[in-house]
């Protein structure tokens, strides 16, 4: 099992549904390419890990990292699985670019509580009151 993952902010996405639509629109067959300026130094450890998506200051979904490819324009593509898995929301600060994420801190994929279905604004208020 891979022990390293990435987090990335999904700019312009407001909720899980908008992230799902974006993932479906940008999929190229069974893959999705996420462009970035620089190759991660630890890219060998990331293959097989996940790219966790942050929306409204919480991790809400992930896609498996398949490989890294160079582009003609000098940038790098993070090639991911087109399948977007939704997760139990986990608070996370927004950042630019991507950040490494250890498997020990990885989030659960099962949302039996229904917390993942809460509207972002309500979730934010409940989280501020330490109720979720």
19: phi then psi, degrees, rounded to nearest 5: -70, -40
Got the DSSP string for 28-90?
A: ETTEEEEEESS--TTHHHHTTSEEEEEETTEEEEEEEEEEEEE-TTS-EEEEEESPPEEEEEE
At residue 127, does pLDDT exceed 90? no
More confident residue, 72 or 96: 72
- Per-residue confidence at 53, pLDDT binned at 50, 70, 90? very high
The pLDDT score that the predictor gives to residue 108 is: 53
How many other C-beta atoms are found inside a 10 Å radius of the C-beta of residue 15? 16
- Per-residue confidence at 105, pLDDT binned at 50, 70, 90? low
């Amino acid at each position: 099992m891979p022990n390293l993952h990435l987090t990335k902010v999904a700019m312009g996405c407001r909720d899980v549904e908008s992230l799902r639509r974006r993932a479906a629109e940008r999929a190229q067959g069974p893959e999705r390419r996420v462009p970035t300026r620089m190759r991660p130094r630890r890219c060998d450890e990331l293959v097989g890990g996940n790219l966790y998506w942050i929306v409204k200051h919480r991790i809400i979904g992930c896609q498996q990292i398949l490989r890294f490819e160079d582009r003609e324009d000098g940038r790098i593509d993070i090639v991911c699985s087109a399948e977007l898995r939704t997760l139990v929301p986990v608070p996370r600060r927004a950042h630019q670019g991507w950040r490494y994420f250890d498997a020990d801190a990885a989030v659960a994929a099962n949302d039996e509580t229904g917390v993942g279905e809460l509207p972002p604004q309500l979730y934010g208020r409940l989280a501020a009151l330490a109720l979720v």
